[in-house]
Chains A and B, each alone.
Chain A
Amino acid sequence: MNQVNQVAESLVLSAEQKKRARNVGFAYLGLAVITMLVFSRRPGDAGFRLTEGGALLTLPAQQIAWIFGLVFVGLGSAQLWRGFGKISNIVLALATAMFVMSFLSWATAGESFSLVGMLQDTVARSVPITLGALGGILCERSGVINIAIEGMLLAGAFTGAVGASLTNLWFGTVIAVLTGVLLAWILGVFSIKYRVDQVIVGFAINFFALGITSFLSFRVLVPNPDYNSLVPVMPISVPLLSKIPFIGQIFFVQTIFVYFSFAAVALLTWSMYRTRWGLRTRAAGEYPKAAGTLGVDVIKLRYRNLLIAGAVAGIGGAWWPIGTVGRFDQNITGGRGFIALAAVIFGRWHPVGAFSGALVFALAEAVRLKIGNFDTGIPSEFLLMAPYFVTLVVVAGFVGVSRAPKAAGQPYDEQ
């Protein structure tokens, strides 16, 4: 019986995979068209600075566009012909990198720009999205939809700023964590205990966090500037690793928040797939009845995961005041929590996937900030839209079939 099911499932999946493979094939051909028709229009060499000092990688913009365009044609044809099987994701990542490279060569033809600085920013900016997404995964893997990431980030940013201003950075971070945990607990009480629609509770928490932090910011922080003034953490160079050319500067000259997010991704990946807790969590998210029958306390498990998620999102919120800008301002998170939600889906509820989703969005943002300084003729309004557009395309187009945990959103009834 079980085997029959598996066979049936693999058949369904392969039909869906075929469709996806075809879409990706057409996408490669689309990239080829854009590259060859648009990016080949500007003569001149584009300089990519690889170190802060100025070691330069010079690429002739037009030739790059033609070469990469032809490669895309090849990739598209191969994909439509037979697909890349196990290495499809690697090919996809390479193609994306090549597309970005030819775009940048086109945009900066005749000039040079700091590639290493841009990628360093990308990693730094991915932190709150990554941590928010991990919070989302922890909840959804155990069967609770967490729309409230944005609210947890914002509230954590507020209390983190006040806590750190009044005492020290560690205490501020702890307060931010507790704030995230408190909001997660509220989400838990309503959605697990009282079985209110999880999406509605999540939205209520988001609006509540926005309202209360804006209000307190005006009533408390404005009259008392001392409550909102702190010196954020500085980047730390990791010994040895930071000496690796190019890569070291990007990944290992960062703040402790970045290292924490790397560690959190690794730890969650390991514990989700290699520990008893992970197995139970996934069971509670897929088929809680079965887990319950086998003696797992689903309610307790969901609560616990929710609280951990709140703590992780709280650290993500603390990134704003403590990890980067040193103060809180109204709505400082600016919707990054919703991007984290997209990263959860993009990453197919897998920590590493969500981390790559966060990097894709952060890269798109870093590119748009950089491009604004060059004469490309792209309207700034379009550039502003680009990161969201990229997220949309990636989530809707490339990811294709992404299956949420089956029981996500359903309250668990112990009977």
Chain B
Amino acid sequence: MIKRKGLRSAAVAIAAFSLIAGACGGGDDTATEETTAETTAETTAETTAALPGEGILACQVTDTGGVDDKGFNQISYKGMQDAEASLGVTIDLLESASDADYAPNLQNFADKGCNIIVTVGFLLGDATKAAAEANPDRNYAIVDFAFDPAIANARGLVFATDQPSFMAGYLAAAMTKTGVVSTFGGINIPPVSIFMDGYAKGVAYYNAQKGAKVKVLGWDTAKKDGTFAGNFNSLDDGKNIAKSQADEGADIIFPVAGPVGLGSAQFAKESGGKVKIIGVDVDMSISNPDAAEVYVASVLKNIDAAVLAAITDTVNGVKTSENYVGTLANGGVGVAFTAVPAGLQAEVEAIGKGIADGTIKI
């Protein structure tokens, strides 16, 4: 009996251990060491002259979408890799498996002595604010969030993505064969809905200009509400929403939901060319080669450039709380054309210029 009891507590201990190991899944220590080791090896091999960023540790915490989402988190991480290559900084990454991981991940990096910590996503706003206030000697930058009131050592990296989305909406309205286009989001938060809003307004602009009656499903400009998957990880939701909207006639769909949109691309692929997708954040015809043929265009949000800019400031010893705002004018956002007729492309580019110089108001 005693023996059995011993076994039992051992088993409980092992179960508890696996629970803890599971909870910290993204942040495995050996993995971090490996990354660091590789980086050091690479930098010594590649560079002869010392780069300005050597000795600087730049760290990134993702949201729950994960760094392989072929979009948002992935391009943020590319900004880190660019900084590693061009500035010689050492980089490190922690992924968040759930909302509960944000604060521990940030604490982990603060303890580790990161010079700048970049958090990816609006959802990390509160956690980043708390971490920045607790660690005034470290720099923080957060994608898609602006601090109000400002925090001396933290800055927001925000993007006027309604501008390129407006262009995409116009483009979709011009290209639809059924007269119905659609969009949907991951979660109804400002950095997601701003895309959908710009898109719907772009369609409305096309209707006003050409006297057309193209209908938008999935976003109501007046009510600021629409169709949402409710998460950023269930690809099957993305496939089902796309099917649901295609059943209502939509033939060009603009998913603003990170990897969930990959499910929509799969649906478009199976539709045999009837349904097309507009990519989001990055040029998805390149980042998602499996379904490259389903994309007509992509709305670009050049987060990598913003992340690189923030790290560059830290390397140069600049400490600022000023937000970075990416626009069509400064190249922080844009549209990548994949399968758009040349004439229409010129028309849409002209609209982009109009938005940049202020002649077209969104």
Contacts and interface: CB of A to CB of B under 8 A. Distances in A.
Interface of A: 49, 113-114, 117-118, 121, 124-125, 190, 194-197, 200-201, 203-212, 214-215, 217-219, 221-222, 225, 228-229, 232, 234, 320, 324-327, 329-334, 365-366, 369-370, 372-373, 375, 377, 379-381, 383-384
Nearest to A121: B240
B259 to A, nearest CB: 5
B339 interface: no
A158 to B, nearest CB: 12
B349 interface: no
B24 interface: yes
A372 B218 contact: yes
Interface string B209-242: 0000000011010010111101101111111110
A330 B64 contact: yes
A114 B15 contact: no
A121 B19 contact: no
B290 interface: yes
Given A207-B22, A380-B227, A325 B235 contact: yes
A326 B126 CA distance: 35
B323 interface: no
A334 B228 CA distance: 15
B19 A204 contact: yes
Interface in B64-92: 64-69
Given A49-B247, A234-B270, 12 more contacts: A113-B248, A194-B10, A196-B12, A215-B25, A218-B68, A329-B68, A369-B240, A370-B244, A372-B227, A373-B217, A373-B226, A380-B227
A384 B236 CA distance: 15
B244 A329 contact: no
Interface residues of B, number: 62
A215 B241 CA distance: 28
Q: Which of A200, A214, A215, A330 has the most CB of B within 10 A?
A: A330
Given A222-B67, A327-B262, A190 B225 contact: no
- Closest 3 interchain pairs by CB? A211-B25, A372-B227, A207-B22
Contacts of A206: 22
Nearest to A49: B247
B290 to A, nearest CB: 5
A234 B270 CA distance: 8
A364 to B, nearest CB: 13
Nearest to A235: B270
B351 to A, nearest CB: 26
Contacts of A212: 22, 25
